[in-house]
Amino acid sequence: MIGRLNHVAIAVPDLTAAAALYRDTLGADVGPEQDEPDHGVTVVFITLPNTKIELLHPLGEGSPIAGFLEKNPSGGIHHICYEVEDIRAAAARLTASGARVLGTGEPKIGAHGKPVLFLHPKDFTGTLIELEEV
């Protein structure tokens, strides 16, 4: 059901410094900052030969990333995103097998302009999983 790894998302307390670290120290291809108000984050994508890294920073006071950074002030891995061909079919299969889809269960449009869903970390060994339709 799941396809390739789309990205690993890392919450960071300082988006500019984190982007500079990847660009200047690691020599990575770092994209521009992109506000995602529907998700309460500002993101920067780092393109690697085989996947992407998504740097996340809170956008607004209600951001879920703000809470994550309160618990992890230095930042850290927030979620892993896998690609799926049909997000609604994937959600139906997962819920039928007991997995919990977060929110309303309806896909939202993610940072790549494609439908996304998040799966409860308690159902996946403590890891927040994002599914993105490709």
Q: Which residue numbers are catalytic? A: 130
Is residue 6 a contact partner of residue 52, using CB atoms and an 8 Å limit?
Answer: yes
Quick one: how far is CA 29 from the chain centroid? 18
